[in-house]
Amino acid sequence: MKVLIGAYSQIPAGSPTPVFERALVSVLKPLLTYLYNSEQDAVLQLYLSSFLMDWLEKNHPEVNMLISDLVRRGRVELLSGSYHQSVLSLLTPKDRSNQIEMNTTSIRKRYAQRSKTLWCYGQYFNPVYINTLALCCIDKIVISTHNAIQGQDYLQEPFQMQELGKNVQILPTENGVSQLVQQYGSGEISFGHLLSRIRLLMNDPSKRFCFPMINIDQLCQGNITEAQSEELFSLLYSYSPISIEEVNDPNEPTQRGYLQAGLYGYDSLTSGLSSFNDLFVQDESLQYLYGRYTSMWESARNYKKDKDVRKRLEILLQKISIGAPYICDANGSMLRSSVRKLVWRYLNEADAVLSALPDHTYPVSTDYDGDDLDEFLTIGKNLSAVVDAKGGSLSELTYLPSLYNYGDTFVPLKGLGSSRNLHAPTPGTKQRVFTDVFFPISTPLYEYQKENGQQCIDMGRVVYDVSVLDRRNTEYLAQANCDANHILSSSLSIEKRFKFRQNTVLVELTLINTGDETIQSMYGCEVPLSIGSNKPTISFSLMEERKLTPYEEAEVVVNEVKSFKIFDEPNNTMITLVSDTRFTLLKEDYTIDYKTTLGEESLYQHTLFMPVWRLDLAPGAHQKHTLGLRLERK
């Protein structure tokens, strides 16, 4: 039996430092030390994310020196990939080749090895890659052949695949071992069970080829120790692994096969998707984020004048193309707010570059999310925002001095972690800022359930008529009508006038009873914000008579509120919400519980702040409220 042994880590940019430290101390250092001290001709196929390699270079250069020494001695063969860990099928052919070449060049400069083998981030594969690989002098792909979405296995021995006249060799990883490592990471089996089952698989006499490719991140997720890592790889290396170049036997015919487009292996949760791109059908937030990237790419491509500006935009687009927000793996990449905020930072920086060019017209209305409705981008001195017809609301709200998007309010699909929130929003929906809800007076605010259509009317799904009121694109009017229903006894007209100032968003709300019956209900204006914080819960302080009263609870209802403040400590930003009329405030932090490489974590997504007023409108009567949301450096 021919045996290859490999290991990989896909830690993305934006991950907290303890994630990198955990992978290094628990697995990577014991593994490399074992290889260095081993007297046998052991060979390791190794893939490390470019972000992990950069972190090692800055913080542990001795580890990079050790890898270089092992490469020189023929003990380590490094696999290439996309430099920014992009899902390559989401990029143009030129960008695909650029990403691969950047990663291959980085490996060559750092470790003096020219990699000719590709590792696909997240193990998503598409046959269109093959033509790109031919341009990059890549002739092999290491990937599982277990289709994670269909639950089916393909060939478990190396095979040649052809696409449009170009060839590549597929080296399938051992699906049985990968599944066991995934089960260990999720806590389904113990470390002793992992070892015994791997030993049984490796001793199978019917196997002619076996390639265990060990997910370092999943080992960390399972809380593996240094001693256990050494024990695991000592077992694997007892089977005398060979190098990739020794796989092919010139005396044996080449097996042929065809790997379809799909998400493979046991790295990522699929959440019932029918295909990878079905993610953009089911998850509004990710569809919107990807739409922002493709729209930015189109605008940047159309600019051809200043070479330096084009180069800067190209670098930003490469960083925006990171695939981590679309993959839910052992690192919890999709669920980490810090990962998504990094993407938004680069997006808003590119926005600022393009909008400031005197010789370039940057579009202010674009359909980012593919719903046939244009969104309106407004960029001021300190604030940028996107006005959305859905809900007559804001899809983004960025404080430009910090490039931090407070509108990144993510709600993952079902199956991607769990939530204990009392007022959890619908999975996969995008939560926008300043959306309208109505619910009965008899419903206590603690029992407010937006998903329950019998208890709540959610106007966040309704398309408002949005019009621009001035030439500078700083004032907008959103209008909608709500027919009489089981909560509203009469038809209601809703008008929201947005006014964007230097540091403030003013929202003038007008509710008009256009029917023949009196309306008595509760009206809430949802203001979900993704706040930066170094604490497990987001705190806020009420302002009354020049005194601040702090609230530390994750979920609370406060009556008779006029204004409150939130301090975003990491960004040194003070956020103030003030109203011209008193309201009842519902505040709740939205978090996702997920087991990551650091153990059980409660990953913060956003905080719902909802001012609530009582409506008591006679026919023809109206009610007005004005909200001001101010962001400023403290």
CA distance 403 to 381: 12
pLDDT tens digits for range 419-455: 888 777 889 999 999 999 999 998 888 877 877 777 8
pLDDT tens digits for range 87-132: 999 999 999 999 999 999 999 999 999 999 999 999 999 999 999 9
pLDDT-based confidence at residue 74 (cuts at 50, 70, 90): very high
In this prediction, residues 468-494 reach a mean pLDDT of 93
Phi, psi of 545 (to 5 degrees): 50, 50
- Write out the two tokens for 165: 């006249």
**359 close to 366: Cβ distance less than 8 angstroms:** no
pLDDT tens digits for range 354-413: 988 887 778 789 999 999 999 999 999 999 999 999 999 999 999 999 999 999 999 999
Contacts of 193 (CB under 8 A, 6+ apart): 184
Q: In the prediction, which pLDDT does 252 show?
A: 80
Helices (H) and strands (E) counted in the chain, each on its own, are 14, 32
Q: In the prediction, which pLDDT does 254 show?
A: 82
Q: Kindly write down the DSSP assignment for every residue of 197-230, as one continuous string.
A: HHHHHHT-TT-SEE--EEEHHHHHHTT--HHHHH
Q: In the prediction, which pLDDT does 165 show?
A: 87
Q: Kindly write down the DSSP assignment for every residue of 559-600, as one continuous string.
A: EEEEEEEEEETTTTEEEEEEEEEEEEEEEEEEEEEEEETTEE
Q: By three-state DSSP, how is residue 4 classified? A: coil
Q: In 10 A of CB 467, how many CB atoms?
A: 11
Secondary element (H or E) of residue 604: strand 599-617
What is the 3-class SS of 497-540, one letter each residue? EEEECCCEEEEEEEEEECCCCCEEEEEEEEEEECCCCCCCCCCE
Percent of the residues in the chain that have a pLDDT greater than 70, as a whole number:
100
Is residue 5 pLDDT above 80, yes or no?
yes
Q: In 10 A of CB 546, how many CB atoms?
A: 5
**Between the CA atoms of 485, 488, 491 and 495, what dihedral angle is there, to the nearest 10 degrees?**
-120
Provide the mean pLDDT of the chain. 93
In this prediction, residues 456-462 reach a mean pLDDT of 92
- Write out the two tokens for 145: 């052949």
The model's pTM: 0.94
Q: In the prediction, which pLDDT does 450 show?
A: 79
Percent of the residues in the chain that have a pLDDT greater than 90, as a whole number:
86
CA distance 194 to 183: 9
Q: By three-state DSSP, how is residue 430 classified? A: coil
| Angle of CA points 203, 209, 210, to nearest 5° | 60
